[in-house]
A and B are shown apart, each in its own frame.
Chain A
């Protein structure tokens, strides 16, 4: 997508929300991206954009304005059977916007579709931030306490609840993730929340 549209004044920027560059390295090296491919171990991006799960995409225009707020979109249909989100609609909309054939969302619509952080979201991010620093200091047990507290404050924030599993010695694809996911969905909460335009 980046290669196809880069001549039109467009770039992709990817950000891996991972505990270390080495966690993201195999993915990035396999993709051999020609666009900025960044690593966010401290959730600096998640904090600024209220990102609570991955994948999350946004569109930002030439003036630095958000013209499509946090949305769920995939580059391919590889995981469609799990996620229920098809890639095609977003890719078509993106092409149309970059080529200037279609407008992005009007400002009022962008604001209506935004989810803004609550006090508990930000308290959770502070607990995460302390836990992440403790983890880098080798204080894994102390770190785990703060990650647990963060998850209680923001149970919908899977960058915290799932994203910290590798720092707690838990397989983020394993039984504990499936149990967390199952309980969340059973309680009537969607795991992915694509925008409804």
Chain B
């Protein structure tokens, strides 16, 4: 019999793991004080980033890097624009 899978999404990275491995990662994240969202019925959990880590990064004033796709699926990274002034605009269709 194959072991049921458990999905762990670690700061956005999705991995389908064995149940035991998933449970271990979950326990470790909790021990590290990370925010964890768990859905036992769906056999899935999201491991987030602590407020402390995010707050320290922002308070350093070093703009956190990110990589996101455009409409064509081409990926763009903030650091590619080093050397330019950047107006970063977050908006939404809603």
Contacts and interface: CB of A to CB of B under 8 A. Distances in A.
Interface of A: 1-2, 8-18, 21, 23-29, 36-40, 42, 44-51, 54-67, 69, 94, 97-98, 107, 110-111, 114, 116-119, 121-123, 125-127, 129-131, 133-134, 139, 142, 145-146, 149, 159, 162-163, 165-166, 172-173
Given A139-B42, A163-B92, A12 B87 contact: yes
Nearest to B48: A126
Interface string B58-79: 1101111010111100001011
A28 B94 CA distance: 14
B19 interface: no
B31 interface: no
Contacts of A10: 84-87
B89 A12 contact: yes
Nearest to B67: A44
A57 B90 contact: yes
A66 B61 CA distance: 5
Given A126-B46, A165-B94, A146 B39 contact: yes
Contacts of A8: 85
Nearest to B53: A122
Nearest to A98: B85
B42 A142 contact: yes
Contacts of B64: 48-49
A65 to B, nearest CB: 5
B92 A159 contact: yes
Given A9-B84, A125-B48, A129-B46, A17 B90 contact: yes
B2 interface: no
A16 B85 contact: no
A166 B92 CA distance: 12
A27 B90 contact: no
B86 A163 contact: no
Nearest to B33: A119
Given A126-B47, A130-B39, A17 B63 contact: no
B32 to A, nearest CB: 13
Contacts of A16: 91-93
B93 A18 contact: yes
A127 B91 contact: no
B63 A9 contact: no
B87 A39 contact: no
Nearest to A69: B58
A11 B89 contact: no
A14 B91 contact: yes
Ranked 7 nearest A-B pairs via Cβ: A126-B48, A172-B94, A130-B46, A116-B55, A129-B46, A48-B64, A38-B68
